[in-house]
Structure 1
Amino acid sequence: MVDSLFADVSYFQAPVDDSYPYAILSFRSNDGTFRDPNFAANYEWACRAVESGRLACFVVYFYWRPNWLDTVCTHREMIEQAGGPHRRMITMIDVESGGNPGGDQSDGINRAYWNIADWLGDTRRVVGYANHGDFHGMWPDRPDGLRVIGAGYGRNPNLPGQIAHQYTDGQGFGGGLPEGCPPFGDCDMNAANGMSPQDFAAACGVGIEEEFMSALTEAEQRELLEKTREIWIQLRGPEGKGWPQLGRDAHGANRTPVDALAAVEDALERPRK
């Protein structure tokens, strides 16, 4: 089983460089309206790393605050100033109780979620982050299909929709997994269990196939769909039930072209009496 590791950093660590060893990276843009000083350098490197094939995708996160619109606008503005959202970029909403009001904050968090989803054009490109308590306490009413990175140092929280697990803050909770990586040293580390970096990217709507389809016009996508449907019909027959003109198999079902070729080969190889 493939597991993908990746770091989660901010200005508390050094800016990323080519010594970074993994194919996914997560880094902060802002905490409310506070702008992370390392964001521009990290974003520039991440965009270049995706283009060179070093990264499969990257996550840019913001720490949610009750002034959610100002927080979201700061996140969006920082990314626009850095060249706009890269096609392999994912936004993560960091939901934590530290410094925030207690109780249900679903309304403000969901408003932030939908604002970003509308901006990026795909709900899959917006993921959440929280530990078990904050996830259920601050965000009990969540969008359908939400993908989540669950925080649980020393224990996997297995949150609904979880696609990765932040397993350590670099302080000894890894249980044998890395507590950090170059060039950051000890830091927050995540594991996408059972997923390759490409799987993780696809789950967040920024995989190679999604990129290919988004590059096509609507007319080109319709044409591709029609041609795929025609090929499927030729291979499987009308309604996927084979072609009557090719005869029937041992179970009485119409043969497909593949079945018919196999029957011909069998007949040719069968000894003549």
Structure 2
Amino acid sequence: MPNFSLKGKRALVTGASRGIGQAMAVALAEAGADVICASSREGGCEETINIIKTKTDVMVAELHADLSDLGAVEKLADDALSVWRGIDILVNNGGTIFRSPAVDFPLEQWQHVLRVNTDSAFLLSQKIGKQMIEQGSGKIINTASMLSYSGGITVPAYTASKHAIAGLTKALANEWGKSNIQVNAIAPGYIRTDNTQALQDDEGRSKEIIARIPAGRWGETEDLKGALVFLASEASNYVNGHVLAVDGGFLAR
């Protein structure tokens, strides 16, 4: 059988305070990895850490950084590398969104979304990827989106950032595959989190979404765990540059 165990691996997960990021951090810990949980504010991952400590006996640590501040992102990378003297698994999950018609979309919000969603992912991958190259192995998993495939409405910056994440995933895989580093992405479908609460509460829109999903339901954060552990483990050593949709079949319609 392929080796899905992450025992002895060291992971960093951004955006780990809640929702998808929290589920990802817990999944890695449940598979045996020691996990650094990062969020935008000090103490933001307290709940996630408590869940991990309750469910597992792995080591867990917490860091924080404003992902729109690239100096803070560089420090986050350095601090993460120093916690256990290296990182084996990097999960670039932290992100933000801003909604406005494109004709009125504020430039400062465009730049903010791109810094948080794309620039920080590149910088963390660059800094931590260099160490992975030196150690001869590593897994980088980016959080893409259904809007890595389509345009959406009133979210031009988010859409641009998630298309960029899909492209960056492939670009880094091309360069770093020869160093035994696999760079892939997960594109969550419509997942039940507080970020999608407005859509869930809109009865008409929620029905439209469910009608397009062959699984017939919204996704849960738990639905992402298996895909993440697969991409973080030796089981995916020959999977590189791939964007894996975990969407209940949404894209198949």
Into which bin does the TM-score normalised by the smaller protein fall? 0.3 to 0.5
What is the TM-score of this pair, normalised by structure 2?
A: 0.38
Bigger fraction of residues in helix: 2
Asked which structure has the greater CA Rg, the reply is: 1
User: Which has the higher relative contact order, 1 or 2, with Cα contacts under 8 A spaced 6 or more apart?
Assistant: 2
What is the TM-score of this pair, normalised by structure 1?
A: 0.36
